[in-house]
Amino acid sequence: MQRQPVILAREVTRQLKLGAHIVHALRGVNLEIHRNEMIGIIGPSGSGKSTLLGIIGGLDSPSTGRVEIDGIDISRMNENQLTDIRNQKIGFVFQFFNLIPTLTAVENVALPIEFAQMRRHQPFSRARELLDMLGLGDRFNHKPNELSGGQQQRVAIARALANDPPILLADEPTGNLDSHSGETVMAALNTIRDENGTTVVLVTHDRSLASQMDRVLLLEDGKITTEDQAID
Ligand SMILES: Nc1ncnc2c1ncn2[C@@H]1O[C@H](COP(=O)(O)OP(=O)(O)O)[C@@H](O)[C@H]1O
Ligand SMILES: [Mg+2]
């Protein structure tokens, strides 16, 4: 029996207005991503990677086409419904870490647990557990400006995982890091996939990261043009 995909996109298009112009950011994207997969989306700048990630994460909606998360059609949901889906299903990581500078690592990670409608964990013990898992067991009480870029991004990953989303979406998470820090972030993403069973979708324009993925989707000019099993 075919497993139900965690993320499904069918003929997704997105048109955006730029002044008097219409930009065709996505031109009919199809994909299926399954539980516990680690998928790379690569492609040149402007090819639609961030637009696609925003749509599968419920930050934006397609102009036409269908998107399902865990079998739920989110394509035509309103803002409140999308907010609920994001809170239940999605963790986001971006290029810039967006940590709160006055809070320590543990406090940054505990914050979304304290704000969750249904609290699933004791905030501080869960925050310590996640930071420990991502190799930051000796950095609990450091503030962001006392951490390296790679360490800050791992705090951001821990924060994204605080409420146990089944899906983690990362948009160029290593784009602002040197290659060593980038490796520590990739190792962290692998750890959470292995230990938590999280489905990870990672957008990058760095082809060298592709070998660490289960599959790589190449996006060009708003369409997926190639789908590869990773070669290692
Ligand atoms: N808010 C927006 N308004 C208008 N055009 C946009 C907006 N966001 C992105 N675009 C355009 O959509 C296309 C895809 O952008 P994006 O998804 O950011 O690409 P990538 O992440 O691959 O660099 C680009 O041509 C970009 O200029
Ligand atoms: Mg982008």
Examine residue 85 and state whether it is found in any structural domain, yes or no. no
Q: Whose CA is nearest to atom 18 of ligand 1?
A: 50
Examine residue 213 and state whether it is found in any structural domain, yes or no. yes
Number of domains in the chain: 1
Ligand 1 atom nearest 52 alpha carbon: 17
* CA 54 to ligand 2 center in whole angstroms: 10
Examine residue 128 and state whether it is found in any structural domain, yes or no. yes
* CA 6 to ligand 2 center in whole angstroms: 22
Structural tokens at position 145: 């400006």
**Which class for 178: exposed (0-12), middle (13-18), buried (19 or more C-beta within 10 A)?**
exposed
Q: Give, for all 232 residues of the chain, the pLDDT tens digit.
A: 567 999 999 999 999 999 999 999 999 999 999 999 999 999 999 999 999 999 999 999 999 999 999 999 999 999 999 999 999 999 999 999 999 999 999 999 999 999 887 788 899 999 999 999 999 999 999 999 999 999 999 999 999 999 999 999 999 999 988 888 888 889 999 999 999 899 999 999 888 887 889 999 999 999 999 877 654 4
Domain membership of residue 115 as a residue range: 37-60+90-229
pLDDT in tens, 110-144: 999 998 877 888 999 999 999 999 999 999 999 99
Tell me, using a 6 A CB cutoff, whether residue 48 lines ligand 1: yes
Tell me, using a 6 A CB cutoff, whether residue 23 lines ligand 1: yes
What's the predicted TM-score (pTM) here? 0.93
Ligand 1 atom nearest 45 alpha carbon: 23
Q: Whose CA is nearest to atom 6 of ligand 1?
A: 16
144: which residues sit within 8 A by CB, 6+ positions away? 97, 99, 100, 101, 105, 108, 152, 155
Residues 109 and 130 sit within 8 Å (Cβ to Cβ) = yes
Q: What is the pLDDT of residue 232?
A: 46
Examine residue 28 and state whether it is found in any structural domain, yes or no. no
Examine residue 214 and state whether it is found in any structural domain, yes or no. yes
Tell me, using a 6 A CB cutoff, whether residue 22 lines ligand 1: no
Examine residue 196 and state whether it is found in any structural domain, yes or no. yes
Ligand 1 atom nearest 171 alpha carbon: 21
Q: Which ligand is nearest to the Cα of residue 94, counting in written order? A: 2
Q: What is the pLDDT of residue 229?
A: 66
Q: Which ligand is nearest to the Cα of residue 21, counting in written order? A: 1
Examine residue 153 and state whether it is found in any structural domain, yes or no. yes
Ligand 1 atom nearest 14 alpha carbon: 12
Domain containing residue 155: CATH number: 3.40.50.300
Structural tokens at position 231: 């070669």
Examine residue 152 and state whether it is found in any structural domain, yes or no. yes
Q: Which ligand is nearest to the Cα of residue 54, counting in written order? A: 1
Q: Whose CA is nearest to atom 27 of ligand 1?
A: 46
Residues 106 and 125 sit within 8 Å (Cβ to Cβ) = no
